[in-house]
Amino acid sequence: MKIAVIGAVAAGTSAAAKARRTNKEAEIVVFEKGIDISYAGCGLPYYISDIIEERDQLLAFTAQTFADKYGVELRTEHEVKEIDPAKKMIYYDHLAESKKGGYEYDKLIIATGATAIEPPFPGLELNNIFTLRSVNSADKIKAAVNSGQVKKATIIGAGLIGLEMAEAFSERGIEVTVVELQEQVLPQFSPEMAELVAEHLEAKGVKLILGDGVDHFAGEKELAKVVTASGKEIEADLALLSIGIKAETELAQKAGIEVGESGAIKVNQKLETNLKDIYAAGDCAESTDLLTNKPVWIPLGSTANKQGRTAGENAAGGDAKHYGILKTGITKIFDLTAATTGLTLEEAEAAGIDAFEVKIKARNHAGYYPGAAPIHLKGVFEKESGVIVGAEVIGGSGSDKRIDVLATAIYNRMTADELFQVDLAYAPPYSSPKDPAAVLGMVAA
Ligand code: FAD
């Protein structure tokens, strides 16, 4: 059996590794157009802030170490240009040697990921306007910061990456302004929870311009100003566009592979596309919202790794399933953690779920033990059954474990009372006798 994988970051390498574990005999070849493989995209802001000092720390494997460990062939600088499903062939350009070639597969896994959106704003060609996606893109931003020339940065987009980068630039002594089209930061959070994050950012010296977008970038050769749609002129010697990403599906679509409304590749629970023997996984593919049962596209490394593993196992002859996601996400913004899982009240209502929400403010651990910090929790519960369907947590240390407890409760369709009844761990440095997650259930029950 010959298995081809296109893309070698989270989904592609997970797929190849699991395919090898499932099938010791198969020939497995991974095609990657870049040079770096299996890198931690999620670690890029910390590489720029210097928390992670060495580039190599971001790379789990080189092409050679990965190939050696898993007994697969890893062809970097190979860009796949065409898939011919009828002949079961892929055609590629070997970029380094300016050569073309083809490979015949029995099973194909598409793990082409996503790319940062860069609308054609006037002035985009000026120096020092960046997007952040790969280690290469992080190298460029880090080099600009290391030059010492960057005093003021403007970040366009207040999503997870934009805000992680606000912290990273601030850590490097750069004055930061964030411009966001929506009226709140972190648009996936409910407004009053996002407001807590906005207050924290401002307390840390980050300027926020909400409800406004970029009109153009101004400068001679170097960027000098970001000009917003409302006419604000923000002095900047670096701009970061973090306004979203789009699934990399052109190659798949040209081959007749179906794409959903989200713009990502449609897959079933086995990660099969509409074409026989072709799978898709990671940021290029949809998943299923476990609460609404509808296709959803929330491109995250956590999902990419799981989907890659499932696609790899199935391509190699196994029978694995990826059931779906709760859209669980988490981010660190200076001293705050902001995390979300499941549905907001608005999403629940839109899905026809009659729901109510409960908000509490607690402490992350016993108030008398040093380091106690506020933690805000919000839960969304179905009215009739009392089942929890969504949660948001914003606070200090310990916010991460609360969101994971709540995600587990949602996954298991637990009621508010069951959430209160769970026997959660307690000692003063970690929690309170009634853990905040349990209190949320207690108040909702
Ligand atoms: P990608 O990482 O996009 O990799 C796809 C690969 O396919 C690329 O290397 C590309 O070169 C290659 N490719 C594409 N087309 C071709 C072709 N035609 N031929 C050959 N090769 C091709 N996720 C989290 O869960 N938590 C986080 O905290 C988090 N933080 C993040 C922070 C940042 C700054 C960024 C950028 C991302 C973050 N993510 C996070 C998202 C996470 O990094 C991605 O979900 C993950 O990298 C997706 O992996 P993937 O393999 O599906 O796609």
% of the chain residues with pLDDT over 90: 100
Give per-residue pLDDT as tens, 416-425: 999 999 999 9
The reported pLDDT for the residue numbered 263 is 97
The sign of the dihedral angle between the CA atoms of 345, 346, 352, 354 is positive
Amino acid making up residue 390: G
Main-chain phi, psi angles of 389, to 5 degrees: -125, -5
**Ligand 1 touching residue 402 (CB < 6 A):** no
Please confirm, yes or no, whether 42 is among the known catalytic residues: yes
**Ligand 1 touching residue 112 (CB < 6 A):** yes
Q: What is the distance in A from the centroid of ligand 1 to the CA of 383?
A: 38
Please give the number of the atom of ligand 1 that sits closest to the Cα of 12.
51
Q: Which band of pLDDT confidence, cut at 50, 70 and 90, is reported for residue 385?
A: very high
**Ligand 1 touching residue 302 (CB < 6 A):** yes
The reported pLDDT for the residue numbered 268 is 98
The reported pLDDT for the residue numbered 416 is 98
How far apart (Å, rounded) are the C-alpha atoms in residues 326 and 142?
Answer: 34
The reported pLDDT for the residue numbered 308 is 98
- Give Cα separations from 130 to 153, 247, 340, 433 (angstroms): 11, 19, 28, 48
Mean pLDDT, residues 109-120 taken together:
97
Please give the number of the atom of ligand 1 that sits closest to the Cα of 34.
11
Q: What is the distance in A from the centroid of ligand 1 to the CA of 283?
A: 6
**Residue 350 CB neighbour total at 10 angstroms:** 11
Q: What is the distance in A from the centroid of ligand 1 to the CA of 114?
A: 6
Please give the full DSSP string across 328-373, using - where no structure is assigned: -EEEEETTEEEEEEE--HHHHHHTT--EEEEEEEEESS-TTSTT--
Closest CA to 200 of 167, 168, 248, 173: 167
Sheet strands (E) in 140-222: 152-156, 175-180, 207-210, 214-219
| Angle separating helix axes 63-70 and 10-22, nearest 10 degrees | 20
Mean pLDDT, residues 97-107 taken together:
97
Give CB contacts under 8 A, 24+ apart, made by 267-271.
267/307, 269/321, 269/322, 269/323, 269/324, 270/310, 270/314, 270/319, 270/320, 270/321, 270/322, 271/307, 271/310, 271/311, 271/314, 271/322
The reported pLDDT for the residue numbered 249 is 98
How far apart (Å, rounded) are the C-alpha atoms in residues 89 and 109?
Answer: 13
Residue 318, classed as helix, strand or coil, is: coil
The reported pLDDT for the residue numbered 244 is 95
How far apart (Å, rounded) are the C-alpha atoms in residues 124 and 216?
Answer: 8
Q: Which of 1, 42, 442, 443 is catalytic?
A: 42
- Pairing type for strands 329-333 and 336-342 reads antiparallel
The reported pLDDT for the residue numbered 51 is 96
Q: Which band of pLDDT confidence, cut at 50, 70 and 90, is reported for residue 140?
A: very high
Considering only CA atoms, which residue is closest to atom 43 of ligand 1? 41
How far apart (Å, rounded) are the C-alpha atoms in residues 286 and 270?
Answer: 12
The reported pLDDT for the residue numbered 412 is 98
Mean pLDDT, residues 383-389 taken together:
98
**Ligand 1 touching residue 133 (CB < 6 A):** yes
**In whole numbers, what is the pLDDT of the chain averaged over residues?**
97
With the most atoms of ligand 1 within 8 angstroms of its CB, the residue from 32, 52, 91, 322 to mutate is 32
Give per-residue pLDDT as tens, 164-176: 999 999 999 999 9
Amino acid making up residue 222: E
The reported pLDDT for the residue numbered 409 is 98
Q: For the sheet with 238-241, list strands across it.
A: 129-130, 238-241, 152-156, 175-180, 207-210
Global pTM exceeds 0.90:
yes
**Ligand 1 touching residue 162 (CB < 6 A):** no
Q: What is the distance in A from the centroid of ligand 1 to the CA of 34?
A: 12
Mean pLDDT, residues 301-324 taken together:
98
**Ligand 1 touching residue 48 (CB < 6 A):** no
Q: Going by C-beta distance under 8 Å and a sequence separation of 6 or more, which residues neighbour residue 307?
A: 11, 14, 267, 271, 281, 282, 285, 287, 322
Q: What is the distance in A from the centroid of ligand 1 to the CA of 38?
A: 9
Q: What is the distance in A from the centroid of ligand 1 to the CA of 398?
A: 28
Mean pLDDT, residues 54-79 taken together:
95
**Ligand 1 touching residue 11 (CB < 6 A):** yes
Considering only CA atoms, which residue is closest to atom 33 of ligand 1? 42
Give per-residue pLDDT as tens, 229-273: 999 999 999 999 999 999 999 999 999 999 999 999 999 999 999
